[in-house]
Amino acid sequence: MLEKYFELKKRGTNVRTEILAGITTFATMAYILVVQSSMMKDAGMNPQGVMLATALMSGVFTLMSALYARMPFALAPGMGSNAIMAYSLVATGQATWQVGVGMFVITGAILALLTLFKVREDMVRVMPKNLKIGIGAAVGIFLARLAIVNGGYVKKDFSGLGDLSDPSIQLAIIGLVITLVLKFVRFEIKGKKYEIRGAMLISILLTTAIGCLMGVVKLPASLISFNLSSIGDVAFKADVVGVFTLANLPLLVFFLFGDFFSTMGTSLGLAGKAGLLDENGNLPGISRVFLTDAIGTSVGGIFGITNIQTYVESAAGIEAGGRTGLTSVATACMFFLSMFFAPLFMIIPNAATAPVLFVIGASMLEVLKSVDFSPIEWTPLALMLLATAFTGDFVLGVALGVLTHVLISLVQFAFTRERSQLPTLGTYLMAAVMSLKFFV
Q: How many CB atoms lie within 10 A of CB 291?
A: 20
CA distance 109 to 87: 24
The reported pLDDT for the residue numbered 124 is 67
pLDDT at 262: 78
- Per-residue pLDDT, 134: 83
- Which residues partner with 309 through β-bridges? 76
Determine phi and psi for 340, rounding to 5 degrees.
-95, -30
| 130 phi, psi to nearest 5 deg | -60, -40
Q: What is the Cα–Cα distance from 154 to 176, expressed in whole angstroms?
A: 14
Query: What's the rounded Cα separation, in Å, for the pair 437 and 396?
Result: 7
- Buried b or exposed e, range 341-366, using 16+ CB within 10 angstroms: bbebbbbbbbbbbbbbbbbbbebbbe
Beta partners for 192? Answer: 189
Dihedral of the alpha carbons of 374, 379, 382, 388, in degrees to the nearest 10: -150
Question: Which residues of the chain are modeled with pLDDT < 50?
Answer: none
Residue-level pLDDT at 264: 82
pTM of the model: 0.73
Closest CA to 143 of 310, 315, 274, 21: 315
Type of residue found at 173: I
Domain boundaries, the chain: 2-150+218-348, 372-440
Nearest-10 Cα torsion for 209, 215, 219, 220: -150
Report the pLDDT value the prediction gives residue 420, as an integer from 0 to 100: 67
| Alpha-carbon distance values, 40 to 123, 229, 296, 349 (Å) | 33, 18, 18, 20
Compute the distance between CA of residue 298 and CA of residue 108 in angstroms, rounded to an integer. 4
A 10 A CB-CB count for 436 gives 13
Picking from 361, 437, 365, the residue whose alpha carbon sits closest to that of residue 402 is: 437
> How far is the C-alpha of 217 from the C-alpha of 212, rounded, in Å?
5
Instruction: List pLDDT tens digits, range 331-381.
Output: 999 999 999 887 776 788 889 888 988 988 888 888 888 888 998 889 999
Cα angle 292, 338, 274; round to 5? 45
C-beta neighbour count of 181 within 10 angstroms: 12
- Looking at this protein, which amino acid is placed at residue 409? S
